[in-house]
Structure 1
Amino acid sequence: MKRLAHARYVPTTPVTLMYRVYKYVLPEVREELGRLRAIAERIPDDELRTQALDSMNGKQFHCEGGGIYAAANPRQRHLLIPLIVALQTISDYLDNLCDRSTSQDEQDFRLLHQSMLDAVIPGAPLRDYYAKRSEREDGGYLHELVRTCQRCVRELPSYDSVQALVSELVGLYGDLQVYKHIVRSRREPELLAWWEKHRNKVPHLQWNEFAAATGSTLGMFMLFLAASEKGLAVSDARLIRDAYFPHVCGLHIMLDYLIDQEEDRAGGDLNFCNYYADQAQLVERIGEIARCARQDVRTLPGSRFHAMVIEGLLALYLSDPKVREQTDVRRVSKHLMRRSPLTRLFFWGNSVWIRMRQT
């Protein structure tokens, strides 16, 4: 893979990365979220408005974490930050709508997630994404999110080289969201049937680990970063996708599910950490996925940045207050944090500090 031009600007130390996060990423992500929140507050339908605002208030750190990729090419952050925030906000909003849905209709969920596919295709026509459900009046909120993404990807210099790969990842993400939210009795059978279609691509993963990998937006964000400069070859875009999917993406979502176990039990939601024989196997598999992720990103230009992303994921999720509230999760966290490198401890401290400033 040829050296990407933006690799010259990629932060190579935790201090440089966090300097950019505090100086650019956090303020600009919050500014963009503020713009979207003002639109969400005007949504006419009570349920849609509630879920839109809850998704932003409860999952702001998803956008802030995704904004890290703009720190790797700050010259293009005027495109990367609005794009990442808008796509992540679609993801979080639809996840809320499906999790707490008045519907369990597969076609409803499929149409809702068509908005995410349309968002990454410049010029795709807007649709009535709520046509299969009773709550429909969002005052143009979802259309605004889709248009923001389309405007930004249209301006990325090499988007043509990554569009098919981004669409593939978004399509897998949509499949997961459909199958994990339909009527409970059909969830596992549909997920297993879906896995059978894809297992030959990742035979070393279990079905729940593959499913978790499809639930991450990090591969999409990395491809946006790669497309933010001229001259990206399609072959290099594929190598970048392969460096992130499935292991970096899988680590991301397995950690997310790890800390949400109690919450998912209470809500009757499917959790991919519940498919292991015991906690020891859970620790072993997350540790193995993390090891594979570190090995994969070594192939990328600016590999130190991507190694920091992996350590940042571990620090961000394992420092979450939800960990302390769950005995089993606390035990798993201690195992995963054992012999942590200084980089992870540095990101741990910054994660705690950022959360404290938000309260």
Structure 2
Amino acid sequence: MIDLEERPYQIPRDPIRLMSRVYKFLLPDVRSELDQWRVRAEAIPDPELRRQALASIATKEFHCQGGSVYAAARLDQRHVLIPLIVAFQTISDYLDNLCDRSTSMDADDFRLLHQSMLDAVDPDAPLHDYYELRDEKEDGGYLHRLVATCRNCIAKLPGYEAAKPQILMLVKLYTDLQVYKHIKPELREPALLQWHAEHQDLAPGLEWNEFAAATGSTLGVFMLFLAASHRDLDQTSAEVIRHAYFPHVCGLHIMLDYLIDQDEDRIGGDLNFCNYYDNTEMMLNRISLIVQSARQDVTVLPAASFHRMIIEGLLALYLSDPKVSQQQEIRSVSRKLMKKSPLTRLFFFVNSRWIRKHI
């Protein structure tokens, strides 16, 4: 297993050191990257593509901010990791907007759009015309530029070949999810159930909706990007990392995202994986179980305290979201999940609220 403790860029082991890096280095770098992508998005010729690209940057900046935490473990490589994480997450957020508010419900269209994510992490693959199957086509090279940025950064990761099979696996699952969850409403659940039946060995113990949620997270990919910044990464270590993050850390990430988005998704007619529990108590128990499993899974990784901080940070980030206070049922679930929280989670909770208000 690779050693993340390479001095003088030692991985942060405590919340104060982690957050000092977040404030001093990561948030400014993320803002700088997103400012550049915003300028490029403003130049997109097609008005619908331009609108969705700009909206994804404006409303989902915190996705890039959260993903950038992995660069805190390699400040010397943040000039590679942050542009890579921001570009990859921006593709994800942009395509999510295109599919959520799509002018079509064509599975082939969704799959071709998301081929860009697979191409972004596979520098040997040919590029595609990602808009071929939809009416809106003219993005002025925006999506191809995002893909190229990912590839250029990946070329600077010395351990990438070892990480690549695990990354491709996670991105392929992500792509499948985005196809099945955006097709016609009456087809979504049967497709997701069949898909889970084919892959349930990847997530034993999780229900179909929890497995689907796990595939929707980019955190496993970001952790593998970080691991690939070490030249001594091998395929066995990469597989251990993927197992440590998928399915439970990844599942927790997206279940929390769906938890706070229930009202929003109900209004938009979007599928929400928290709606498949019999009652609120069952939902709370299942999320609590996923939290416990995630904590256990990361104990196999070097510098496990860093990954435990990420888990506590996820809980703090989502449960401090203003959407929680606007939904009575979710407010109750949030209070129960935060009950007897460790100091680390409370620390991140306060910081998450401060960042939302001031940055």
2:285 matched residue in structure 1: 284
In 1, the alpha carbon distance for the partners of 2:4 and 2:316 equals: 28
Shift of 1:201: 2.6
Q: Are positions 1:60 and 2:61 aligned together?
A: yes
Once the two structures are superposed, the pairs formed by residues 156-305 of structure 1 within 5 Å of their partners are: 156-305=157-306
Once the two structures are superposed, the pairs formed by residues 34-183 of structure 1 within 5 Å of their partners are: 34-183=35-184
2:11 matched residue in structure 1: 10
Shift of 1:5: 4.8
The answer to whether the 8 Å contact 1:51/1:97 transfers is: yes
Q: Which amino acid aligns with 1:3?
A: D
2:322 matched residue in structure 1: 321
Shift of 1:229: 1.1
Encode CA deviations 1:95-120: one digit per residue, 9 max, x unaligned. Answer: 00000000000000000000000000
Q: Are positions 1:343 and 2:344 aligned together?
A: yes
The 1:356–1:142 alpha-carbon spacing in structure 2 relative to 1, beyond 3 Å, is same
In 2, the alpha carbon distance for the partners of 1:207 and 1:315 equals: 25
SS at structure 1 position matched to 2:181? helix
SS at structure 2 position matched to 1:132? coil
SS at structure 1 position matched to 2:155? helix
Encode CA deviations 1:48-75: one digit per residue, 9 max, x unaligned. Answer: 0000000000000000000000011111
In 2, the alpha carbon distance for the partners of 1:56 and 1:340 equals: 32
Shift of 1:125: 2.3
In 2, the alpha carbon distance for the partners of 1:224 and 1:156 equals: 8
Encode CA deviations 1:214-240: one digit per residue, 9 max, x unaligned. Answer: 000000000000000111111011001
Shift of 1:2: 4.9
Please give the TM-score of this superposition, normalised by the length of structure 2: 0.98
Q: Which amino acid aligns with 2:3?
A: R
The answer to whether the 8 Å contact 2:315/2:345 transfers is: yes
Q: Which amino acid aligns with 1:213?
A: A
The answer to whether the 8 Å contact 2:181/2:188 transfers is: yes
In 1, the alpha carbon distance for the partners of 2:60 and 2:164 equals: 26
SS at structure 1 position matched to 2:277? coil
Q: Are positions 1:357 and 2:348 aligned together?
A: no
Shift of 1:203: 2.3
The answer to whether the 8 Å contact 1:6/1:229 transfers is: no
In 1, the alpha carbon distance for the partners of 2:141 and 2:272 equals: 32
Q: Which amino acid aligns with 1:235?
A: T
The answer to whether the 8 Å contact 1:123/1:150 transfers is: no
Shift of 1:277: 1.0
Encode CA deviations 1:131-166: one digit per residue, 9 max, x unaligned. Answer: 000000000000010000000111101000000110
Give the alignment's Cα RMSD to 1 decimal: 1.0
Please give the TM-score of this superposition, normalised by the length of structure 1: 0.98
The answer to whether the 8 Å contact 1:5/1:229 transfers is: no
In 2, the alpha carbon distance for the partners of 1:181 and 1:52 equals: 18
Unaligned 5+ runs, structure 2: none
The answer to whether the 8 Å contact 1:312/1:348 transfers is: yes
In 1, the alpha carbon distance for the partners of 2:5 and 2:321 equals: 35
Shift of 1:126: 1.8
Q: Which amino acid aligns with 1:228?
A: S
In 1, the alpha carbon distance for the partners of 2:120 and 2:298 equals: 27
Q: Which amino acid aligns with 2:148?
A: R
In 1, the alpha carbon distance for the partners of 2:75 and 2:247 equals: 26
Shift of 1:6: 4.1
The answer to whether the 8 Å contact 2:56/2:94 transfers is: yes
Identity of counterpart residues, as a percentage?
Answer: 63
In 1, the alpha carbon distance for the partners of 2:36 and 2:202 equals: 40
SS at structure 2 position matched to 1:177? helix
In 2, the alpha carbon distance for the partners of 1:312 and 1:63 equals: 14
The answer to whether the 8 Å contact 1:87/1:119 transfers is: yes
